[in-house]
Amino acid sequence: MSDLERLSFSLEGPLYKRLKLLCRASGYSNRSEFIRDLIRARLVGREWELDQEAVGTITIVYDHHVPQLNEKLTDLQHDNHSMILATTHVHLEHDRCLEVILVRGRAGRIRKIADDLRRQRGVLHGNLSMSSTGRNLA
For 30-55, how does the pLDDT look when each residue is reduced to its tens digit (9 = 90+)?
888 899 888 888 888 888 888 889 99
pLDDT > 70: percent of the chain: 96
Among 5, 28, 49, which residue terminates a domain? 49
Measure the CA–CA gap between 17 and 91, rounded to whole angstroms.
Answer: 46
Do 45 and 74 reside in the same domain of the chain?
A: no
Reported pTM: 0.78
Note whether residue 5 is domain-resident: no
Across the range 110-118, mean pLDDT stands at 96
Question: How many CA atoms, within 13 angstroms, populate the side-chain half-sphere of residue 109?
Answer: 16
Same domain, 37 and 67: no
* Structure-model confidence comparison of residues 73 and 5, the more confident one: 73
Residue 6 domain flag: no
11 residue type, one letter = L
Cβ pair 132, 54 in contact under 8 A? yes
User: Region 9-25: what's the mean pLDDT?
Assistant: 91
Let me know the angle formed at the C-alpha of 87 by 89 and 37, rounded to the nearest 5 degrees. Answer: 115
Establish if 74 belongs to a structural domain.
Answer: yes
- Cβ distance 28 to 73 under 8 Å? no
CA distances from 16 to 10, 22, 33, 37, 126 (A): 9, 10, 16, 17, 37
Residue 134 has pLDDT above 80, yes or no: no
CA 56, CA 46: separation in Å to the nearest integer? Answer: 15
